Amino acid sequence: MNEDNDLNESLNSEPQNLENGPQHNESDEDEGGASSAESMGEAAIGAAKTKATKLFGKKTKKNVDDEQNAKIAELTNDLQRTRADFENFRRQTELQKEQYGNSVKYATVNKVLPLIDDMERAIAANPDTLKPLEKNLEKTIMNLGLTKIESEPGAAFNPDLHDAVMVEGDGDNEVIAETLRTGYYYEGQVLRPTMVKVSKQ
């Protein structure tokens, strides 16, 4: 009886030991595997991002540098063109200003020439009375920047300096016979040629 009781007790205890023995927790195993796979995936994604950043980041920086250099070159060309246009405009303005100033001076002096002609004719017609005015007239002419064109009788005729209104004789040598109106240089240029009578000898 005692042996039978002992055997029954041992049989009854085995299932309990089996039930209480080491057991595998499937939920724990699933969670561990999932977390491990997730970690590996995140690591792979991070590595890919890093590689892509290194690869495409360099290209992007190079592209940015190229664009900046191209923009700098374009702006430099624009600045150079603007500078050249300004220099041309400045030179043109100065030239126009100079030409305008010269034209004003020439116009002013041209208006004075008839008065000088009248004074010369008056002095020539009345030398005894008006002779003292001749020096003042010469001084005025010099102050205006005028220089008389030489036209002494017997001097060679020069069509660039003399305007022949009368011609006498039939020779080959043209000389000045008489001065009819005085011509002048103004600032080294012929302002008005001398009106003369020419003799061919």
Residues contacting residue 160 through CB under 8 Å, at least 6 positions apart? 190, 193
* Interval 122-151 mean pLDDT: 88
Q: Tell me the pLDDT tens digit for each residue of 17-57.
A: 444 444 444 444 444 445 565 666 666 666 666 665 555 55
- CATH T-level assignment (fold) for domain 147-201: Nucleotide Exchange Factor Grpe; Chain A, domain 2 (2.30.22)
User: Does residue 151 sit in helix, strand or coil?
Assistant: coil
- What does the alpha-carbon distance between residue 60 and residue 45 come to, in Å, rounded to a whole number? 21
Owner of token pair 């004075």: 112
For the full predicted model, state whether its pTM sits above 0.95.
no
Nearest residue to 113 (alpha-carbon basis) of 179, 180, 192 = 192
* CATH 2.30.22.10 intervals, the chain: 147-201
- What does the alpha-carbon distance between residue 41 and residue 14 come to, in Å, rounded to a whole number? 45
Q: What is the residue-averaged pLDDT of the chain?
A: 78
pLDDT of residue 115: 92
Q: Tell me the pLDDT tens digit for each residue of 39-48.
A: 666 666 666 6
Structure tokens at 61: 């920086």
* Interval 141-166 mean pLDDT: 91
pLDDT of residue 178: 92
* Interval 1-23 mean pLDDT: 45
